[in-house]
Amino acid sequence: MLSKRAKYALKALLALAERPREEPVRIADLARDQHIPPKFLELILLGLKNHGILQSRKGKGGGYLLARDPADIYLGQIVRMFDGPLAPVPCASQTAYVPCADCPNEAVCGVHLAMKAVRDATSRILDGTSLADLRRQMDDASPPLPID
Amino acid sequence: MLSKRAKYALKALLALAERPREEPVRIADLARDQHIPPKFLELILLGLKNHGILQSRKGKGGGYLLARDPADIYLGQIVRMFDGPLAPVPCASQTAYVPCADCPNEAVCGVHLAMKAVRDATSRILDGTSLADLRRQMDDASPPLPID
DNA sequence: TATTTACTCGATCAACTAGATAGGGTAAAT
DNA sequence: ATTTACCCTATCTAGTTGATCGAGTAAATA
């Protein structure tokens, strides 16, 4: 299950990726446009900033802006930030591996085999898709009206 | 995250799939062999029975046994039984679709696009792998010692 | 039929987490 | 100087997960 936190983070980042890089966007505006509880979004954006995904400007005309090129921000990083490892079980995680206390032989464990496959497939998608990639997909899905 | 419930269920089913079909296995034995809290396993097996995956025999010599051929029991069904839909967000679920209240256009929603891809990949694995398939993988991973 | 065996089922519980809100503090523009 | 808007800590509640207890009931065997 994707947490609300991660979902809101992705929505906010995608909204930022759509606009010109240098214009800060206020929390309040982002919250209104994306239907996110403002105070909750505040927390989330702060987290993204502390992880180097966002920058912020204080005072009048301030707000948040992307710290990196959207093509260098991958969905996997965002999801992991808020929801932890992609793997359904710790023993199948690449980034946060923890063995099962009870499992005598991982290589022969059915749960491990199946969940490793799920993890790999998930990673292939989320670690292989950048904000820019996803924006492109979104734009392809709603092509601009032809000028006739 | 795979719940303990689902994990225990899979382990128990795989253990049952390894043995001859007609011999019931006692909860206590299954619990001991698979390192599962007995009373908790009780609950889980009962659930599997009520969903037609298992049969049970009462009294002496009783226990649980598979109600169907292991080749006809898919991991997806088990995981969904205990953990709900595979999709990370309800709007990306095939079996339990619920639209997002706030989302004006799903086709253009980045979160939807990405999570649908994750769901499809997960389903391809879990709905495409039966207990029998997985047992085969496990056996391949621990080949019997050569007879010299 | 008596008795043992082992499943059935309801109630309960502690621990944890997610989602969310409140309220004041602080940096930086104008 | 003052306004704007980010920064941070504390708090709350509602729900879920993992787990256990104990009594009840069906069925096989002696």
Identify residue B132 by its one-letter amino acid code. A
CA pair distance B125, B119, nearest whole angstrom: 10
Distance in angstroms: CA B39, C1' C26: 55
**Helix, strand or coil for residue B42?**
helix
pLDDT of residue B79: 98
Q: pTM to 2 decimals?
A: 0.95
* pLDDT band with cut points at 50, 70 and 90 for residue B22: confident
pLDDT for residue A142 is more than 90: no
pLDDT for residue B83 is more than 90: yes
pLDDT for residue A148 is more than 90: no
Alpha helices in chain A (DSSP H): 4-18, 27-34, 38-50, 75-83, 110-126, 131-141
Spatial CA neighbour of A133 closest among B127, B11, B110, B73: B110
Q: Which residue has the tokens 């088990």?
A: B78
Rounded to 10 degrees, the C-alpha dihedral B49/B135/B78/B101 comes to 180
* pLDDT band with cut points at 50, 70 and 90 for residue A102: confident
pLDDT for residue B146 is more than 90: no
* pLDDT band with cut points at 50, 70 and 90 for residue A79: very high
* Closest nucleotide relative to residue A62's CA, C1' based: D5
B1, B35, B118 ranked by CB distance to A125: nearest: B118
Pairing of the two strands A63-66 and A54-57: antiparallel
pLDDT of residue A22: 87
The set of residues, in sequence order, having a beta carbon less than 8 Å from that of A130 and lying 6+ positions away, is: A70, A71, A72, A73, A74, A75
Mean pLDDT of B107-126: 98
Show residues, CB within 7 A, near nucleic chain C. A 3-5, 37, 39-40, 42-43, 57-61, 83; B 24, 26-28, 39, 42-43, 45-46, 49-50, 56-64
